[in-house]
Chains A and B, each alone.
Chain A
């Protein structure tokens, strides 16, 4: 089992969240990337739109299939990774870095506590395989 960055928090739907000052940066995990294969299109909300924790905020398409993206926390979308419009493969190349998806200004800081840390996420992945 691969290890996952310790400074991130994780959802059961394989998104990660990183606290950066008063916003939360969101992406998908290396596990999700491996499952998806080549990412070819990412459909995301516009800045200013509201997202709800654990609800769909967009879609990510690989060559083979489409998957839904779920928000780790509720809040307002501050920024969207515009580079993914022309270079969706950044998600494959660096899911925790250039391949980030959106930043959210959380409406309820308490929701972060409901996410998994890296160890818990790795444990959770163990229950999915086999």
Chain B
């Protein structure tokens, strides 16, 4: 069967590096190069380079850009300074999560919104409908590439590739315009691994130049190309939510542990009334982190059981290569969400012991 998959501008680089490619959100993406464990370890101890050009990028420009985006997301965009970035979710009228996003205020009247590849069309049309005609709105996902350079050596590699000090001195969740090996880029101190690092936006056709320059400058630092497999284990250890697994349109930010990105006491935004009601009523379930105390690996969709009956569902689960345990996330009733609570995970008909633990599982 042939599936029509899109490829990033770096596809030939991935093939030359021996990547194994898999379909992901309509894209043919590298899942691993050398192996998930080795790649995971490289990011934790040295540095890794990711091609995440499948992510969606939306550009909103105009005098009311900040106010308009502020009305579409749960976090307070009005407080964003130029050169600052913000993690947020975007909810529907019922207060359920359409996507999680990072909003970057690139210029006074210019915002960049990065969304998940799987939600790109949904979020682009949601924004288009709500933003109206006063603003310039553009889905630039096809024209922009996104690379992520992550790990303790990321800043040193940036320096060696000749990035200006404006880049190497960037504070977390700050963004600036720069030139790297002659290519115009936007660089942000953001990521999805739990490590220090950068995300680099550039024109798709120039991404090969940046990719090669970073790999070459990173070589003495032990930089490795990293696939989506390790991206998933890295983000899980850092308890960063994965849309479609841990959060979706059936979950609200409060039960997902994302109440901190919901700022109710400000201007009106989509979902505010519903979110206020959800907050006041209190969610009856919680997304918790657990580790397996018995022998087994929890996976997305496995039942969580207590006293012989199902009480929840695993949303993410895998070995945690750095924490050295099999870990996972899942929704459980509030009464079972306290740290230390014993749970069972049903793995192919067998109940294996697990315990609720504090998250993130890994903190640098």
Question: Contact residues of A with B, CB < 8 Å?
Answer: 37-38, 40-41, 43, 59, 61-66
A66-B299 contact given A37-B32, A59-B348, CB 8 Å threshold: yes
Checking A41, A43, A61, A63 against B229 with a beta-carbon cut-off of 8 angstroms, the contacting residue is: A63
Cβ distance A80 to chain B, nearest Cβ, rounded Å: 14
Q: List 14 A-B contacts (CB under 8 A).
A: A37-B229, A38-B36, A40-B319, A40-B326, A41-B295, A41-B297, A41-B326, A43-B295, A63-B233, A63-B321, A64-B31, A64-B229, A64-B318, A66-B297
Q: Which of B37, B232, B296 contacts A41 (CB 8 A)?
A: B296
Q: Is the pair A63, B318 in contact by a Cβ cutoff of 8 Å?
A: yes
Q: Report which of B36, B295, B326, B348 forms a contact with A37, defined as CB distance below 8 A.
A: B36
Residues in A with CB closer than 8 Å to B319 are 40-41, 63
Bound form: Cα–Cα A40–B37 in Å = 10
Indicate whether B35 reaches chain A with its CB closer than 8 angstroms: yes
Q: Which residues of chain B have a CB within 8 Å of any CB of chain A?
A: 31-32, 35-37, 229, 232-233, 295-297, 299, 318-319, 321, 326, 348
**Set of chain A residues within 8 Å of B232, measured between Cβ atoms:** 64
Query: Given contacts A59-B348, A64-B318, could you give 18 more A-B pairs where the C-beta distance is less than 8 Å?
Result: A37-B35, A37-B36, A37-B229, A38-B35, A38-B36, A38-B37, A40-B297, A41-B295, A41-B297, A41-B319, A43-B295, A43-B296, A62-B36, A63-B321, A64-B31, A64-B229, A65-B299, A66-B297
Closest B residue to A92 by beta carbon equals B35
Q: In whole angstroms, how far apart are the Cα atoms of A105 and B32 in the complex?
A: 38
A37 surroundings in chain B (CB, below 8 A): 32, 35-36, 229
Q: Which of A38, A41, A65 has the most CB of B within 10 A?
A: A38
> In whole angstroms, how far apart are the Cα atoms of A61 and B233 in the complex?
14
Q: How far in angstroms is the closest Cβ of chain B from A9?
A: 27
Shortest distance in angstroms between A128's beta carbon and chain B's nearest beta carbon? 14
In the assembled complex, which residues on chain B have CB atoms less than 8 Å from the CB atom of A41? 295-297, 319, 326
Whose C-beta in chain A lies nearest to the C-beta of B228?
A64
Q: Decide if B299 touches A63 in the complex (CB within 8 Å).
A: no
Tell me, rounded to whole Å, the shortest Cβ–Cβ distance linking A97 to chain B.
19
Q: Given the complex, which residues of B lie within 8 Å of A43, measured CB to CB? A: 295-296
Q: Which residues of chain A have C-beta atoms less than 8 A from B36's C-beta?
A: 37-38, 62-64
Query: How distant is the Cα of A63 from the Cα of B229 in the complex, in angstroms?
Result: 8
Task: Report the 8 A-B pairs with minimum CB-CB distance, sorted nearest first.
Answer: A63-B36, A38-B37, A40-B319, A61-B297, A38-B35, A64-B229, A38-B36, A63-B319
Q: How far is the CA of A64 from the CA of B300 in the complex (A)?
A: 11
Residues of A within 8 A of B326 (CB): 40-41
Chain A residue nearest in CB terms to B321? A63
Contacts of B31 in A (CB 8 A): 64
Complex Cα–Cα for A64 and B35 (A): 11
Which of B31, B36, B232 neighbours the largest number of chain A CB atoms within 10 Å of its CB?
B36
Complex: A62 Cα to B319 Cα, angstroms? 9
A43–chain B nearest beta-carbon distance, Å: 8
Contacts of A59 in B (CB 8 A): 348
